[in-house]
Every structure is written in C-alpha cells, then in structure tokens.
Structure 1
Amino acid sequence: MNFLGHFALVAGLHENLRQAGDARMVTVSSGAHLRASFDFDDPHFERRPYDRWAAYAQSKTADVLLAVGVGRRWAADGVTANSLNPGYIHTNLQRHLDDDTRRAFGSMDDEGNLLTPDYYKTPEQGAATSVLLAASPLLDGVTGRYFSDNQEEEAVPGGPEVPGGPEVPGGVAHWAVDPAVADRLWDYALEATLN
C-alpha cells in the first residue's frame, strides 16, 4: 500500500518541518477516494479478492486521512497539511492502464490513439491546486482539508456505487476527513512502519 511510504517519509521529516516554523505538506489524492473507505480489517487484501480499483481508492482515502492526521497533530508545530484531487491529466501514470480502461475513460479511441476529453486538464491546470496549497498565503493556517479545482470540497457520502471515470462526483467522502478515522489510521501506520 503506497500510503505507508508516504507516512514513513512524512514522519521522518517531522522534526525538519517543525524547525521550519511554517511548513506545509500537500498530498495528492484522487476523486477515486470516494469509492472506498480504509479497510482496517484487511488493508492488504489478504482475506478478500484483490480489486485494483478498490485498492487504489483505499490508498487515496488514506492519503486524505494523512493530511487530516498531520493537521491534528502538528498544527501547533507550525505544520499544516492538505490534500487534493488534481483531476484527469495525461501523464506517464496512464501507461499502467490497459487500453480497455483508457477507452472507458474516453482517453483512447478504438485504434489506440490518445484522446483528450473535455474533462481532462492540462498538466498546468492539474498542478494549480497543488501550487495553491503549497504556496498561497490564502491557505496560511488552513489544515486537514481536501481541495479540487482550487476550492475546498464539501463532505459527501461515498461508496462502491460511486461511478468512475468522468462521472465521479465532486466532494470529499465523509470517511476521508473523519478525525477519529484519521487517528486510527495514524496509529495503524505507526505500528506498521515501526515493525
């Protein structure tokens, strides 16, 4: 699960971030987090059939919860953390998607040519929210929140029935910004990375 690497890096940087006096952490999540909460009973799909999209959604939920956790623990140290959905962008990550998935997203035609649907962003547009969270004075002191298109998102219900592709609704799943869940995930990650 890629979240544990993120957690270990951030935990290892805590003292440096604290010493900076006004540090920001930005985690890149995805609208896919709306499809799955974090499964504490089987986070590594050891007892349930592996589903790549559920695993991806779960890891992206964990990324949002990481920002909530850092915000709860380190704000007094001058460290803020927020997460974001950059949107759909043609990047090298898509090389890991099969052609059928790309066609379902509308980003490839039947001949294998890449397409750029209207809902896709340029790399610059996709990076805009990351830059806002990392550098804008408008976000001074703001922590533990989730953004998309340079705006904070409202908490909404999520679940496996949330559609994928361009139909993914906006918002942040209520489970991804729940302080109690963030605390539980923090404790899980501490134990997992220390052992």
Structure 2
Amino acid sequence: MDELITTPFGFDSTAAEVIAGVDMSGRRAVVTGASSGIGIETARALADAGAEVTLAVRDTAAGEGVAADIGGTVDVASLDLSDLYSVDAFVAAWDGPLHILVNNAGVMAIQELTMSASGHEMQFATNHLGHFALAVGLHDALAAAGGARIVSVSSGGHLRSPVVFDDIDFAFRDYDPFGAYGQSKTANVLFAVGATRRWAADGIVANALMPGGIATPLQRHLPAEYAAQALTAFRAAGTDFKTVEQGAATSTLLAASPLLDGVGGRYFENCNQARVVERRGGPGQGGVAPYALDPANAERLWDLSLELVGDH
C-alpha cells in the first residue's frame, strides 16, 4: 500500500486554519447540504478564501439566511438529492466550469424503512445515488475547470456495513437504520475510488472523509438522548466530539489545500489519510475498512449506480 498522506493539521484544526493563506479567487464551488452543520462552515471557509460558492440545499429560505451570514460571493440553488429529477434540474441550470464539488448533504439512521421517489432505500438514495447523479451530471463542468476536486463526506459509520449488492434496498433482510447508513457511507468512499480511477485523466480527483463526531441536525432522526449518549461513549474511549468548525476542517482541506494537489481515491480523518483496519472497534476508533477501498467493489457500485439512476 502507498504511504499514508499526512499534513500539519489534526483533530483540533478548524476549517479556517486549514485554508489559511490559500487564495481561492476565481474558483467555483458547490456545497450540498450547506444550510446546516458542517456544510455551512465548509462553505464559509471557501467563500472567505475568495471562492464563488453555491449552496445546494433543499430549504432555499434557510440557504438564503446562511448566504447572507457568510457574505462574499455566495449563491443558493434548490437541490433535493433524494429526487433525481431535482438533481437533473440543478445540473441543467449549471453553466461554466466547476472547480470544487463538496458532496456534504446526508441523512442518518432513518428509523423506519423509507423509500425515495425512485424506489430506493432513502439513505442510500440521498447519501449516494443523488450525489452520484450530481457528479456524473457535472462531469463536463468539472473537467472544464482543470484540476477539479470532489469531496465525498463519508463517516466512520461505514465500518458498520459494506455495500450489500444483492439487497441494497432491504427487500429481503431486516431493516437496520445504522446498517443502512453504514452501507450508504461505504458507497461514498467507493465513489471517490471509482471517480478518481475514471476521471483522473480529465483532471478530476475525488477523496472521501470522516468529519468526526459532531452534534448537528444530521442526528434529527435519532432519539433526543442520542447525542449525549454518544458523547459519553466517545469520552470513555479517550476522544471527544468536535465543534462544527473542526468538523468542517477535513472537508475544507480536501477541497482547497495545495498539500493534496493530484491526490485522489483515498479516505481521510482528522485531516490525515486514515489507516486500513481489519475489524470495527468502539467509538472514535477511526480507520477505513478494506471493502470501502476495494477497486472491484468500486467498479461494481459504479455500474450499478449508473443503472439505478439511468431510468427515473
């Protein structure tokens, strides 16, 4: 295996710190799910560095409030990743090159099996298929930018499940909210592997990341006490939750840092490339599962995803 990539940054680094001194003037970025949580702070860091940022959000009124708070050149566009027609509309409206695509939006641990409009399990449909369709649709804009980057926000939750290719939509197995979330987050890593293998020749690289444990609206489908219980478990394991500014650091690093020019197909946590682990441990363990980086799995997922988004 290639030597792990390390940077001067770590757990405590913030988005503002990892982008300090980087001039993003003339660069255009799209950040999905940028009306709450780490999406806001990722967009803020990019805009503060001079990028022209589009907040791609379901709630455009909330997005307008965020844009006003951030300042700079920040636009808002409607995007519902669970609705592939909404993805089509966003792609059709985009004009010109795109330097950075941050696939940040997500849903987590929906308690009951819920299907998207296109008939797929909602977490897989939103977290993976919608972002996949968005990236494929914007490929030409990314290629036109020269040296474009895609940031795929995954999670340590990917350690809970590989992509179960024979039953993506829980047609035969019992639905498990965290298993479904884990499957979708593994797909986010495999997308980065597959996109880099296909598109590096077009000047496009993609990396995936774990932002860290953070209390954000991502946990809205979970019981009210979930965050407190998770924080207790993290601290018992010798780690802690991050602030949203810290949680956005790895996304921002992958989107903008010259330290990662030309780097793709990897999984990062705490602003450094993660090690491969052979077994899932407790909270805060870290690492990336071998199945999430496997090129054959990435190929299979890419082909399946093209099939699933092709007829909607």
Give, in angstroms, the shift of residue 96 of structure 1.
2.0
Q: Is the Cα contact below 8 Å between 1:86 and 1:129 reproduced in 2?
A: yes
1:129 corresponds to: 250
1:33 partnered with 2:158: yes
1:24 partnered with 2:149: yes
Q: Is the Cα contact below 8 Å between 1:32 and 1:168 reproduced in 2?
A: no
Give, in angstroms, the shift of residue 101 of structure 1.
3.0
SS of 1:41 mapped into structure 2? helix
2:211 corresponds to: 86
Letter in 2 for 1:42: D
Question: Which is further off, 14-23 or 95-104?
Answer: 95-104
Report the TM-score when normalising by structure 2: 0.56
Q: Is the Cα contact below 8 Å between 2:275 and 2:288 reproduced in 1?
A: yes
Letter in 1 for 2:208: S
Aligned match for 1:42, one of 150, 157, 167: 167
Letter in 1 for 2:180: A
Indicate the RMSD between aligned Cα atoms, in angstroms.
1.7
2:296 corresponds to: 180
Report the TM-score when normalising by structure 1: 0.88
Q: Which runs of 5+ in 1 are unaligned?
A: 108-116
Letter in 2 for 1:84: L
1:141 partnered with 2:141: no
SS of 1:106 mapped into structure 2? helix
Aligned match for 2:140, one of 3, 7, 15: 15
CA offsets per residue over residues 69-128 of structure 1, 9 Å max, x none? 111000000001001000111212222211353343136xxxxxxxxx961001111011
Higher helix share: 1
Letter in 2 for 1:59: S
Distance across 2 between alignment mates of 1:134 and 1:69: 18
Identify if the C-alpha distance between structure 1 residues 90 and 101 changes in structure 2 by more than 3 Å, giving closer, same or farther.
closer
Letter in 1 for 2:288: V
Distance across 2 between alignment mates of 1:119 and 1:178: 30
How does 1:49-68 map onto structure 2 within 5 Å?
49-68=174-193
Q: Which runs of 5+ in 2 are unaligned?
A: 1-123, 233-237
Q: Between the two structures, name the one with larger relative contact order (CA 8 Å, sep ≥ 6).
A: 1
Distance across 1 between alignment mates of 2:174 and 2:193: 29
Distance across 1 between alignment mates of 2:211 and 2:278: 20
CA offsets per residue over residues 36-88 of structure 1, 9 Å max, x none? 10000000101111000000000000000000011100000000100100011
| Number of aligned positions between the proteins | 182
Distance across 2 between alignment mates of 1:14 and 1:106: 39
Give, in angstroms, the shift of residue 21 of structure 1.
1.0
2:278 corresponds to: 157
Distance across 2 between alignment mates of 1:121 and 1:104: 15
Distance across 2 between alignment mates of 1:79 and 1:106: 37
Letter in 1 for 2:247: G
Q: Is the Cα contact below 8 Å between 2:231 and 2:240 reproduced in 1?
A: no
Percent identity among equivalent residues? Answer: 56
Q: Is the Cα contact below 8 Å between 1:29 and 1:83 reproduced in 2?
A: yes
